[in-house]
Amino acid sequence: EKDKAMFGGREVKGKTLAVIGLGHIGSSTAVDAAKLGMKTVGYDPALSIESALKLPRTIKLTDSIVSAVQQADYISINIPYIKGEGGTHGIIGKDVISNMKPDAVLLNFARGELVDSEAMKEFLDGGNGKYVSDFPDDLLWDHKNAIILPHLGASTEEAEDAAASMAAETIKNFLEKGTIVNSVNFPETSLPDRPENAVRFVCVNQNLPGMLAHITEAFAKANLNILQQINHSRGEIAYNVMDVDITDHDDVLSFKEVQEVITMQEG
């Protein structure tokens, strides 16, 4: 009884949780936090309608990671790791960490490379903040204010079955509908079911000015009418889905010619 002070903590009710990344996991985290009586703040520049509908009504959305973390007691990272220019390597860097409350707790169960280790060590050295992760780091794994847990994601039979089922369903939806979800480098894209008198084209190109115009022009020159289309981009990648009217176009040749024209476009 006299030693229980050694294990003192703080309640999460009434505290503020910042959720960085509001996809499937991030939105679920925000919902669960709200049920625990926490205030929630979120940031996601690519928030989908599907994920937005799952969010608690009380969540406050911000326009930057810095804005999200400034008043947060807890911060949960739920974004994919993307290498290269415009990626997410070290996205939780000194500019973000320096704006965190001195006793903030950063929860990173996404990827270790998302956090700038040196900036995080400086933060942990200077205050009562905590870093909780399941990714060991040479600088942080033995820090007194770091809690490193075993990386046990999808380590149950049920989770492995669910992951395999999700992967198969994701590929099936892409092949049948051109839908993209849960991708680490392509934009999430979904178009309503195609009309009966249409065929669906998908086109991947560099995210450059004028590319969409070149693609639609190729269909126009072939006298093919686009009934509906969607264009999303993520970084350097642009992804297009188009439903093209096949009325009076039952020959394969006209579609093959359009495909050749688009394929020869630079970019």
Mind listing the pLDDT tens digit for each residue in 192-213? 888 888 889 999 999 999 999 9
Mind listing the pLDDT tens digit for each residue in 109-155? 999 999 999 999 999 998 889 999 999 888 999 999 999 998 876 67
Number of Cβ within a 10 Å radius of residue 44: 22
pLDDT of residue 77: 97
The angle formed by the CA atoms of residues 226, 227 and 233, to the nearest 5 degrees, is 70
Q: Taking the C-alpha atoms of 240, 246, 251 and 252 in order, what is their torsion angle to the nearest 10 degrees?
A: 20
pLDDT of residue 48: 79
Mind listing the pLDDT tens digit for each residue in 50-88? 788 889 999 999 999 999 999 999 999 999 888 877 789
